[in-house]
């Protein structure tokens, strides 16, 4: 998953530099963003052991 996210981020950067259509850039950025949040959710496996 990390490889996919970073590959998407690199793709987004290259699309920006090459002046690709905005819809491709935004789509690539948003997919990377959503995958990042999904991966974060995957790694959050337990509630924090804290009491305030």
- Residues contributing to the site for other proteins (CB under 8 A): 1-3, 5-7, 9-10, 12-14, 16-17, 19, 22, 25-26, 29, 32-33, 36-37, 39-40, 42-44, 48-50
Least Å from the CB of residue 39 to other proteins: 6
The minimum distance between CB 49 and other proteins, in angstroms, equals 8
Written as one string, the DSSP assignment of 3-50 is HHHHHHHHHHHHHHHHT--HHHHHHHHHHHHHHHHHHHHHH--S----
Q: Which of 43, 36, 41, 42 has its CA nearest to residue 12? A: 36
Q: What minimum distance in Å lies between the beta carbon of 46 and other proteins?
A: 10
């Amino acid at each position: 998953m990390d490889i996919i996210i970073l590959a998407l981020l690199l793709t987004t950067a290259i699309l920006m530099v090459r002046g690709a259509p905005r819809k491709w850039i935004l789509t690539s950025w948003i997919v990377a963003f959503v995958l990042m949040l999904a991966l974060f959710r995957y790694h959050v496996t337990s509630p924090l052991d804290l009491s305030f």
